[in-house]
Amino acid sequence: MKKNKIMKISDQAKLQEKCGVICVTGVPDAAELCLTGLHALQHRGHEAFGVASSVDGKINVTHRLGTVMANSADVPKCSSDKAIGHVRYSTSGNASFSQPVYLRCPFGEIAIAHNGNLINADELREILKKRGCIFESDVDTEVLVHLLALSKEETYIGKITEALQQVKGAYSLVLLINNEVFAVRDPHGVRPLSLGRLGDAIVITSETCALDILKATFVRDVAPGELLEIKTNDVISHFPLERKERKFCIFEYVYFSRPDSLLEGRSVYTSRKKIGMQLAHESNTKSDMVVPVLDSGMVSSIGYAETSGIPLELAITKNYYSGRSFIEPTQDLRRIRVKLKHNANRELLQSKKIILIDDSIVRGTTLKLLIAMLWEAGTEEIHVKIASPRMMNPCYYGVDTPNKKDLISANLSVEEVRKYLGATSLYFLSLEGLYKAVSGSDVRKNFCDACFTGDYPIK
């Protein structure tokens, strides 16, 4: 029965961060710089992107399906010193569902780009519909723009505050209201948001890697619960929301963020390397080589190899030009898709005992097929080490996760997962080990780990 449940699991093998945001003010080519920054944030959402810019108080919004590099050439050029941008993972195949979300309202125009998820969006949407609001999509950001538009507060700060006091969830937002720009982070600080400077210009972005590509200087993280009023060359900080315990997403360090980013004062690369080192301390199996699942397992594999003394080998080659699959997800054709994207180096693997490292297991479908490919290449033993704890629960704070019934570790024991994957052995990093690697302590304070523990900070 359990086996049938797993075989029905859909083809998505990795969790997907839903969004990335950016804001640039104080330079005449703000919209162009937003597009460049979005390219650096492409890993946070690759199905659609959008830019909103303000020219003399009028907001222009452009949405495109696909990646920034492939589809930005036909984005209309405009001279604007204020712009916000967004990359999105899931679009339901419609560019109109992309962000920034735009609305004309009694006091002008609003555009919002949002990374996160509002857990009471459906409830608020029904209330707003009864008040006459019309929704064009199921994007929760639409709820925010309507709440903002209906506010009777006199100032923009007041309107934003009143809107946010009604929502529950995780959010990092950048907003254009007529000719004014704002950025805000939820009181728990679940999703990242950073402040930088490019000369006199201000840049707000989901990750510092976008600051690097713009040659902007990192100033600091936007604090949980902080609302920034962004002027041409300066920012004014407000804290209008009730302060809450910091609960930054621990999985940003494991998988979501780019290795060259800094999050909450920590290097993502260093954190992942330490995770691999901790994994080696917890489970060091005698083998001939350490093999990463590219690219997600690469940095942890470096740390594992360094600590264990076992050489690292790139025995799996990844084809970066395979693109998104057009193949229907039947079991036989999934194997072809994996072969299109990965190939095992038979010369390296023949008669070898290997440690295979990946960042996490969500459904296990792709990893199962990779392991089958490694056996076909003549590998003698395959010891799978996962650089995070067992994923037992869905995320409701801005990550595209499956239902609990589709999470393999929530339904099967470690031994049952090992058998399903076809591995010689299987080990998951301990939760205490994850915290020790990332923060230097096994104390869970200041992080959200609901995907591992079921302890949801926002309810």
Q: Which residue positions form the known binding site for [4Fe-4S] cluster?
A: 249, 395, 448, 451
Q: Which two tokens stand for residue 45?
A: 């959402």
Catalytic pick from 19, 23, 34, 133? 19
> Which residues, including other chains, have CB under 8 Å from residue 140's CB and lie 6 or more apart?
114, 117, 118, 121, 169
- Binding-site residues from annotation: 249, 296, 358-359, 395, 448, 451
Report the binding-site residues for Mg(2+).
296, 358-359
Return phi, psi of residue 398, to 5°.
110, 20
Sign of CA dihedral 351, 352, 355, 357: negative
Contacts of 442-447 with C-beta under 8 Å, sequence gap 24+, read 445/245, 446/245, 446/246, 446/247, 446/248, 447/247, 447/248, 447/249, 447/250
**CA-wise closest residue to 229 among 329, 317, 316, 161:** 161
Is residue 13 within 8 A of residue 337, CB to CB? The reply is no
- For CA atoms 168, 173, 176, 182, the dihedral sign is positive
Q: How many other β-carbons are positioned within 10 Å of the β-carbon of residue 96?
A: 12
Q: What phi, psi does 163 have (nearest 5°)?
A: -65, -45
- Please give the C-alpha separations between residue 35 and each of 71, 76, 213, 279, in angstroms, as whole numbers: 11, 12, 11, 38
> Is 133 marked active-site?
no
Q: Name the one residue in this structure whose structure tokens are 């693997």.
A: 349
Our CA dihedral for 109, 121, 161, 397, rounded to 10 degrees, sits at: -110
Q: Which helix (H) or strand (E) is 445 found in, with range?
A: none
Give the burial class of 200: count Cβ atoms within 10 A of its Cβ; 0-12 exposed, 13-18 middle, 19 or more buried: exposed
What residues are labeled active site? 19
